Amino acid sequence: MTSSDYWDAEMARRYDEGSAAMFAPEVLEPVVDTLAELAGDGAALEFAIGTGRVGIPLLERGVRVHGIELSQPMVDQLREKVDATHLPVTTGDMATTVVDGEFSLVYLVFNSIGNLRTQEEQVTCFRNAARHLAPGGRFVIELWVPGIRRMPPGQNAVPFNVDDRHLGFDTYDVVTQQGTSHHYFRNDDGSVGYGASNFRYIWPAECDLMAQLAGLEFESRAADWHGTPFMADSESHVSVWRKPVDAALPQTERPQRP
């Protein structure tokens, strides 16, 4: 059982078109470059692989990729592009689903850790990433920094897109760290559609603590896939944690860390 919203067939059908900007080569290429370099000669596991936006070009770059995805309709969309022999996907919850094999890279992009809406599940997800990693392997997360500094006292909503086709805004509950993204779309016939998705927001420091609980060591944090330094006003981060190289040794044989 997961707290995540389920992405249904209609959401899956609209996903690639609705996220077209995220498929643009100038957006995707630095993501794939970075992930391919981190995977090296090993295999990669994508949590919440969706319709294969990142997994498929990474596969085309020569990296063996396996996916975990909760939504069967999203997997069905992916299957229109690539078969299971080339890109196997296990349907299930990324916090708990275990697949065969050992990976040099586990990655979870496009803010998708937030789909798990409890702290406990998010910690379990970090632990699940760690269990799939070979010693020395890396877990990478791409996540936005919660936009709550943009809210004056008494306000609970922040717009993230306003144009004549789409109005999108997030509402936040700063007590529970729960949020909802609201989308109003104007259709060609003038009618208006509405969709919403729920998330639990986390700060980079909370991610680091989750990684630590999972036995991973902090390696790097940038503001984006180009390696721009992460600063006070950065709106997103790409963070990398590493499973210790000596993680395969029994506890008693590992060098002591301060």
Ligand X SMILES: C[S@@+](CC[C@H](N)C(=O)[O-])C[C@H]1O[C@@H](n2cnc3c(N)ncnc32)[C@H](O)[C@@H]1O
Q: Which listed residue (57, 58, 71, 104) binds ligand X by CB under 6 A?
A: 71
CB of 196 to ligand X, least distance (A): 14
Is-contact 162 128, C-beta < 8 A? no
Site for ligand X in 78-107 (CB under 6 A): 93-95
Q: Which listed residue (44, 53, 56, 138) binds ligand X by CB under 6 A?
A: 53
**From 64-72, 130-138, 198-206, 217-225, span contacting ligand X (CB under 6 A):** 64-72
Q: Does 4 bind ligand X (CB under 6 A)?
A: yes
Q: Does 128 bind ligand X (CB under 6 A)?
A: no
**At a CB cut-off of 8 Å and minimum separation 6, what does 34 contact?**
140, 225, 238
Q: Does 7 bind ligand X (CB under 6 A)?
A: yes
Q: Which listed residue (14, 18, 28, 110) binds ligand X by CB under 6 A?
A: 110
Q: Does 32 bind ligand X (CB under 6 A)?
A: no
Q: SS3 for the chain, per residue?
A: CCCCCCCCHHHHHHHHHHCHHHHCHHHHHHHHHHHHHHHCCCCEEEECCCCCCCHHHHHHCCCCEEEEECCHHHHHHHHCCCCCCCCCEEECCCCCCCCCCCEEEEEECCCHHHHCCCHHHHHHHHHHHHHHEEEEEEEEEEEECCHHHHCCCCCCEEEEEECCCEEEEEEEECCCCEEEEEEEEECCCCCEEEEEEEEECCCHHHHHHHHHHCCCEEEEEECCCCCCECCCCCCEEEEEEECCHHHHCCHHHCCCCC
Q: Which listed residue (39, 59, 70, 210) binds ligand X by CB under 6 A?
A: 70
Q: Which listed residue (116, 210, 240, 247) binds ligand X by CB under 6 A?
A: 116
**From 80-88, 108-116, 165-173, 218-226, span contacting ligand X (CB under 6 A):** 108-116
**At a CB cut-off of 8 Å and minimum separation 6, what does 248 contact?**
135
**From 42-50, 143-151, 227-235, 244-252, span contacting ligand X (CB under 6 A):** 42-50
Q: Closer CB to ligand X, residue 35 or residue 133?
A: 35
Q: Which listed residue (42, 50, 57, 137) binds ligand X by CB under 6 A?
A: 50
Q: Closer CB to ligand X, residue 99 or residue 151?
A: 99
In the complex, the residues that contact ligand X under the rule CB under 6 A are 2, 4, 7, 48-50, 53-54, 68-71, 74, 93-95, 109-110, 112, 115-116
